[in-house]
Amino acid sequence: MSLVQVYSASNSLEAHSLKGMLETEAIDVVLKGETLSSATGELPADVLAVTLWVDVVQEAVARKVLAHYEAQSNAVWWCSACQEESGGNFEICWQCGVPRAEIE
């Protein structure tokens, strides 16, 4: 198995949510960068980039999933209940909690 880097997450939280998303598509993900940051003790782990690596045979599928994620993250939507604007990476309204799926 040979690994290729498919994404550089801005923090460990994003890395883990992307890992979970890829795993639902049956893609095995290896995270790199976290152990390095906690070893130095100079910076909190969440401000250092964490990279996502997948098997080269799953690279094309992984990139497709990630491209979809990025497109969603960049698009904002408006809650039908309270009219609040939410980022595309939110699945529910951050203010009142109405799920996005019920709006569309």
Binding interface with Zn ion (CB under 5 A): 79, 81-82, 84, 93, 95-96, 98
Q: Which is nearer to Zn ion, 27 or 79 (CB)?
A: 79
The dihedral sign for the CA sequence 54, 55, 58, 63: positive
Q: Which is nearer to Zn ion, 56 or 96 (CB)?
A: 96
Q: What minimum distance in Å lies between the beta carbon of 14 and Zn ion?
A: 23
Q: What minimum distance in Å lies between the beta carbon of 95 and Zn ion?
A: 5
Q: Supply angle C-alpha 58, 64, 67, rounded to 5.
A: 135
Element (H, E) at 72: helix 59-74
